[in-house]
Structure 1
Amino acid sequence: MSDRHTSATVLLTHAVGLHARPSVKLTKLAKTFRSTIELGLSPDGPWIDAKSIVKVMGAKVPQGTNLHIRAAGGDADTAVAALIDLVERDFDEAGADAAGG
């Protein structure tokens, strides 16, 4: 069976955008999948490797950005769904910045 290709878009709502902690969480999750996973700030790209912390942090994605995620490979559907879920859960950091005082 041929490789799967899938994509989705999610609104980045994290207060400071895709900074260090969210970038690390995103790339760590992306690396758990065999598929090629890329992020884009528009449907037409440019696309960056979601498994590269340097590239993800270098994109400096601000809050309020529609983050486009695409994947190709046997687990592409699962990979995109997991990354969308992570972003929608605010990287499991709800209240983390406020709690720090």
Structure 2
Amino acid sequence: MTKANASVLLFHEVGLHARPSVKLTKVAKGFGARIELATNADGPWIDAKSIVRVMAAKAPKDTVLHFRAEGGDAEAAVAALVRLVESDFAEVEEGA
């Protein structure tokens, strides 16, 4: 079983609010791997595919987001999520 993890700085002006949370969970759901997110390297870890849990994390701007994944496409999943955050959630911008 492949495992992957990475950390990335959240610099979105209002943090991980509704729109970025929806985009993040949408990307996460595109992968078969189990993907988790935390705002602290030690956890608590939450399901990155759960919009309710991701929004409840209420990560403010300048929070370091930690991703970990397990499954056949774990590395691709973590890389995609890091790219999404680094692009300030523009990667899947509708109508852009």
Q: TM-score, normalised by structure 2?
A: 0.93
Could you tell me which runs of 5 or more consecutive residues in structure 2 were left unpaired when the two chains were aligned. Answer: 92-96
Question: Which structure has the larger Rg over C-alpha atoms?
Answer: 1
Taking only aligned residues, the RMSD between alpha carbons, in angstroms, comes to 0.9
Please state how far the C-alpha of 1:50 moved relative to its aligned partner. Answer: 0.2
What is the distance in 2 between the residues matched to 1:45 and 1:56? 13
Give, in whole Å, the separation in 2 of the partners of 1:48 and 1:92: 23
Alignment-mate amino acid for residue 68 of structure 1 = H
Query: TM (normalized to structure 1)?
Result: 0.88
| 1:73 CA drift (Å) | 0.2
Q: Distance between the aligned counterparts of 1:92 and 1:43, measured in 2? A: 25
| Residue correspondences, number | 91
> Identity percentage over the alignment?
66
73, 78, 81: which is aligned to 2:79?
81
| 1:43 positional shift | 1.1
Inter-partner Cα distance in structure 2 for 1:81 and 1:92: 15
